[in-house]
Amino acid sequence: MRTEVAIVGAGPAGLLLAHLLAADGVDSVVVETRSKAYVAARIRAGILEHSSVELLRSAGLGANIDAHGDEHRGIYLQWPGERHHLDFVDLVGRSVWVYGQTQVQADLHAAAEAAGRQVVYEAQDVALHDLESERPFVTFTDATGAEQRLDADVVVGCDGSFGPSRSAVPEAKRETWERVYPYSWLGILADVPPSTDELIYAWHPDGFAMHSMRSATVSRLYLQVPNGTDVADWSDDRIWEALSTRLGASQEGWELRTGAITEKSVLPMRSFVQQPMRYGRLFLAGDAAHIVPPTGAKGLNLAIADVALLAPALVSLLRKHDATLADAYSETALRRVWRCEHFSWWMTSMLHQSGDAFDAQLQLSQLRWVTSSTAGAAGLAENYAGLPLGF
Ligand code: FAD
Ligand code: DHB
């Protein structure tokens, strides 16, 4: 097989890149190790930044966001006895959208199918070769057991945190940073109308809790739990009780509605960056290059921002033989990556229980400042609603 751009991974980064390249007439083939059904069913992120929505709309992928997404002006930040609304629109003129990653993924699948783009699912033993040459290629075993070779001009690693692309960069040519947090999230999806109009991020002595949503009838909620937590130890009743305590702490007149839990999982949290995001004819995008803890809702948005930068760079490289944007890709992308790394670490550190009583007082002081000072609130709003693409 031969194509112009071989894309490893059919998550949001890979499928969106294929879509943006096709809009400029550049061919690609996406190679994905999981089945189509598995990729479609993964429950992950839920918030799209302002610029992600603008990009998806401009790429012709906005119809379902406009029809089924929910625009939010801001978020609530709370701690026992206090709940404050931060209005991002008033503060920085930008909003966010509740629109699940599963929906983004479904829109991208539908667009790929309608256009007849090639996505190879259930590929095993995916390996990247000759990345320093002008003729890189990807090999894999397809679902029938046949060995395949995909020749390309460029390979893009969109294969998330566990794919082979990141480590295809020789050790001497890469630098990495990592932070593992001493806590995880227990996330649930429940068939119950949200008990709030906008997301609630709650600091609580028992641990962080968050109330998000997917629709008018489906809620998404998270609880801070110790690393190594087994979901089997958390019955539905125990989960609702902990959520009610942490989210309801001294919030008079407010009650958490409960309902049938349809999904339950534990997510470990870490920060990770590998740079540069380019090695020869290999480019990295999304989780393949960087991971953030989920508290700032940045993972999916950062994947979209990478690809928004990379697509025009590859079009220039392949169509005009102009490498200027491709050469600048890593450095330009990493500016936003590190901003989001910092914001995600900051939100995480402000809201989770981990240190001693002194740390708790610092966190509460920070929360009071962020919710009472316009400058403090605007800083959070600017980062959460997302900096413009090209920042
Ligand atoms: P991914 O979505 O991970 O896609 C990578 C793709 O590559 C996958 O389809 C994978 O199967 C494929 N792949 C892996 N190995 C290979 C291989 N060898 N060959 C070919 N393909 C391969 N972010 C938030 O903002 N909020 C959240 O609540 C949130 N929750 C999350 C929960 C979980 C369990 C995880 C893992 C992530 C979560 N994230 C969340 C992060 C967010 O989902 C990611 O940042 C986002 O999916 C990044 O998109 P991506 O396309 O770069 O990577
Ligand atoms: C969701 C996840 C997040 O990490 C976040 O910060 C906001 C919302 C969600 O799954 O809805």
User: What CATH number is associated with residue 39?
Assistant: 3.50.50.60
pTM of the model: 0.96
Sheet holding 96-98, edge to edge: 47-48, 96-98, 70-72
The reply to whether 201 belongs to the active site is: yes
Please report which ligand is nearest the Cα atom of 211.
Answer: 2
Contact 123, 131 (CB under 8 A): no
Residue 391 lies in a domain: no
Residue 107 lies in a domain: yes
pLDDT at 250 over 80: no
Q: Is 239 helix (H, G, I), strand (E, B) or coil?
A: helix
- Please compute, for residue 138, the number of CA atoms within 13 A of its CA located in the half-sphere on the CB side: 36
Interface predicted TM-score (ipTM): 0.96
**What is the reported pLDDT for 388?**
85
Residue 263 lies in a domain: no
- Long-range contact set of residues 215-219: C-beta below 8 Å, sequence gap at least 24: 215/68, 215/70, 217/191, 217/192, 217/193, 218/189, 218/190, 218/191, 218/192, 219/189, 219/190, 219/192, 219/193, 219/194, 219/195, 219/257, 219/259
Residue 285 lies in a domain: yes
Residue 196 lies in a domain: no
Residue 365 lies in a domain: no
| Lowest-confidence region among 192-201, 237-246, 248-257, 366-375 | 248-257
Ligand 1 center–CA 375 separation, angstroms: 34
- The number of folded domains in the chain is 1
**What is the reported pLDDT for 177?**
98
Provide the terminal-to-terminal Cα distance of the chain, rounded to the nearest Å: 37
Pocket of ligand 2 (CB under 6 A): 45-47, 199, 212, 220, 294-295, 297
Q: Calculate mean pLDDT across residues 354-383.
A: 97
Could you identify the atom of ligand 1 that is nearest to the CA of residue 31? 20
Ligand 1 center–CA 300 separation, angstroms: 8
**What is the reported pLDDT for 252?**
83
pLDDT at 390 over 90: no
- Token pair 């020749």 in the structure block, residue: 151
Per residue in 167-187, pLDDT tens? 999 999 999 999 999 999 999
Which residue range(s) make up the domain with 58? 5-72+96-177+270-352
Residue 383 lies in a domain: no
Cα 339 to Cα 343: distance, rounded to the nearest angstrom = 6
- What is the total residue count of the chain? 391
Which of 72, 204, 211, 352 is catalytic? The answer is: 72
Cα 65 to Cα 71: distance, rounded to the nearest angstrom = 9
Q: Is the CB of 109 under 6 A from ligand 1?
A: no
Residue 223 lies in a domain: no
Pick the closest to residue 279 from 334, 321, 327, 324 (CA basis). Answer: 327
Which of 50, 211, 290, 298 is catalytic? The answer is: 298
